[in-house]
Amino acid sequence: MIFYDFEVHDTTGNLIRLREFEGKVLLIVNTATKCGFAPQFKELEELYTTYKDRGFVVLGFPCNQFMNQEPGESEDIQAICELNYGVTFPLFQKLKVNGPSAHPLFQHLKKKSSGLLGSAIKWNFTKFLVDSAGNVVGRYAPGVSPLSLKTHIEKLL
């Protein structure tokens, strides 16, 4: 499978084909509203609003696999992100990023870009940068500030 063959569900349950994002530079992030890194939502939103007119999109995927830091339902997660952080970039239904039931999208991302601990995602707010052809070109640890990725994003736009 290629990147654009994957399908996900938005927060209201609608099926979204990643082919809809073909030709765009993407930053894919596993998120959690109760995580210490949650303030990164503001930086992710800043990147999105700065570059969206140039073909850049942040895709947020809530995940509850790390110390139960995303226990809410999709509607609650969406509301928290909008109210507390001003998020307007696309958010999707909660999914798993590790283990045998990891979503196929994250299996693909991990296969294409291993991290410090091998392919496993070690925490919330791991970031994957995908170029406009659907290639995973970067993986960034949770502690990496989204704004520090500006140069990488600009090179791809």
DSSP string, 2-20: -GGG-EEEBTTS-EEEGGG
- The one catalytic residue in 35, 47, 95, 149 is 35
Nearest CA-CA partner of 19 in 1, 4, 2, 7? 4
Is 81 designated active site? no
User: CA–CA separation, 135 vs 25, rounded Å?
Assistant: 10
DSSP string, 77-93: HHHHHHHHH---S-BB-
Nearest CA-CA partner of 42 in 101, 89, 92? 89
Residues 86, 92, 98, 104: what is their CA dihedral angle, to the nearest 10 degrees? -140
Residues with catalytic roles:
35
